[in-house]
Every structure is written in structure tokens, then in C-alpha cells.
Amino acid sequence: MNEKNQPENEWKLDNPLDEEWDTEEWDTLDDNQAGDGKRSHPLFKVAAILIIMAFVALSYAWLPSIWTTNFDFLKQDKALSDDDIVRRCKPAVVIIQTTRTGEAAAIQGTGFNLEPGGMIVTNRHVVEGASTVEVTFSDDKRLFSQDIDMLDGYDLAIVWLKGKGLPSLPVSDRMAKIGQSVTIIGNPRGFQGVSCRGEVKEYYKTDSGMLVFTIGVAVAPGSSGSPVLDEQGRLVGIVYAAGKIAIDGEEQDRAIAIPSIALLNLSKDKPGN
């Protein structure tokens, strides 16, 4: 990889809990959801604050700035709602919700389908340890699976379904180019099929040796596993984390994605399906 594509600036994590983080790690983007009624964890406090803010913002016209600040990711989605790529690709983007044996909490993320029979790609950290995965398509069709494969060397997983005629995405056989415009479709903060668009910024390898690239756009929790699409609507990457980078003293948001070439050697026919 050319050295000019390596980021030379300091990375900083997005962190709603204001804790100290190692700059060599990033925030993953799955949503943790409470299932046992306990409220002692800081995430429950954040959720409670968001609920209160939503109620107040809807009740008082003098608080629009609070509402728009927390839901800025919906602005670009509105502008892209009639975009051809978004309309064509959105049906293949799914909500992933997992349950784990012995745990009441659930994790929600995003995934997408590559085969009419059901080959769902998402992040490993969304489904790892799950006893059951629930997959919901944009038409509210729900399918369940316990058939999950993890991809060695990548934060990626495949959830196999027993479906028929399911909407799917094509995969590009080329890597996204720096400066190329790409589109992300995900399910952040409980919203379904939210789209955003930005430019590919840089490529580099993580400490574990995983090749990733960054996109100049902000993505919210729940976006883990979102497809990154080129100008033809072909898959070029999978979102798995987010962060900020300081350039000339100014912080810029980044989505961090795994190139889709990691999927090219996979068999699209699960034995036994």
C-alpha cells in the first residue's frame, strides 16, 4: 500500500460516555438494547436522556436545535430518498437483531443480502456469540437463523437463511478509489434504511493486519454491517467502526469500512441449504 495513503494524523474515538480510549481502536457501531429492565449501566442513562429530549423537542418549538443536533444523520437521508442507488439497493439492506444464551440484552446492527436464498453479510461483533439471529427486510419480512459463519481475519460474518427470491446486492470486483463517492445504507438508532454519502479518504492496515478504508461521513450506532456502494450500486465495502481524525487542528468524522474483496472468494452456496 502506498505510504501516501496512510493517515498521518491522530485518530480520536467518538465516545458518548466521555471515557479515555486508545487511539488505535475505534467505536463499533452496533446498538445495545436493554431486555432485563435494569438501568444502572450508562447506556441506559443515555437512552433515557434521548427519550426525554425527543419528548421535549416534540412538545416545545423552541428546542429544534437539540433535535437536529442529535439526529443530523437524517438530513442527508432526506436529500437522498429519491436517489436511484438508494431506491434500488435499500430492499437488500436488513436489520440484524441477535439474542445470546443467558443474556437479556440484545444487539442490533445492519446487514445486507448477496443471494436470493439468503446470504446475509454483517460484522462479526454484531452476531458473535448469538444463539439466534433475526433478519428483517425493508418489507418487514422476518427470517430467523442459527447458521452463522465467521470470516477468519476480518470483522465479518455470514448469516445463512432458507429463503427464496430475496432482494440482493451485486459485489464489485474492484476496490474503491480514493476520492470516489460512495453511498452507505444502514439502520442507525432504530431508524431503517437511512442513507448517507461521502468520499473515500484513505487506506491502511489495522494492528491485526486487516485492510480498511475510511469515508468522510458521520455514521451513528446501529450502522455496523452497512453496505458501502459505488456509483453503480455495487458493494465495495462493509462499515464496521467510526472515529474522528484531526487534520490541521480540525476534527473530521470518518466511517471505517472493510473492502468487499474480502467476500470474493466465498462460496455463495452454503452446503446443505
pLDDT in tens, 142-192: 999 999 999 999 999 999 999 999 999 999 999 999 999 999 999 998 889
Question: If pLDDT is split at 50, 70 and 90, which confidence band does 15 have?
Answer: very low
pLDDT in tens, 199-215: 999 998 988 889 999 99
Residue 66 backbone class (left: φ over 0; alpha: ψ -120 to 50; beta: rest):
alpha
User: Contact, 213 vs 205, CB < 8 A?
Assistant: no
Per the confidence metrics, is the pTM higher than 0.85?
no
**CA–CA separation, 225 vs 169, rounded Å?**
14
Q: How far apart are CA 222 and CA 36, in angstroms?
A: 20
- pLDDT at site 203: 95
C-alpha cell at 218: 458521520
Hey, what's the torsion of the CAs at 217, 220, 221, 227, to 10 degrees? -50
Residue 178, classified by CB atoms within 10 Å of its CB into exposed (0-12), middle (13-18) or buried (19+), is middle
CA 240 to chain centroid: 6
Q: Which cell numbers in the block locate residue 119?
A: 446470504
Architecture of the domain delimited by 3-21+170-263: Beta Barrel (2.40)
**How many CB atoms are closer than 10 A to CB 116?**
12
What is the band of 222 on the pLDDT scale with cuts at 50, 70, 90? Answer: confident
What's the pLDDT at 147?
95
State pLDDT tens for residues 63-115: 333 333 356 667 778 888 889 999 999 999 999 999 777 666 678 899 999 99
User: How far is the CA of 213 from the CAs of 3, 13, 103, in angstroms?
Assistant: 14, 16, 33
In whole angstroms, how far apart are CA 4 and each of 7, 83, 167, 178, 245? Answer: 8, 33, 39, 11, 16
Per DSSP bridges, beta strands 31-33 and 93-99 are: unpaired
pLDDT score at 26: 54
The answer to whether domain 89-160 has CATH 2.40.10.10 is yes
In this structure, the number of other CB atoms found within 10 A of the CB of residue 144 comes to: 13
Q: What's the farthest any 2 CA atoms get from each other in the chain?
A: 59
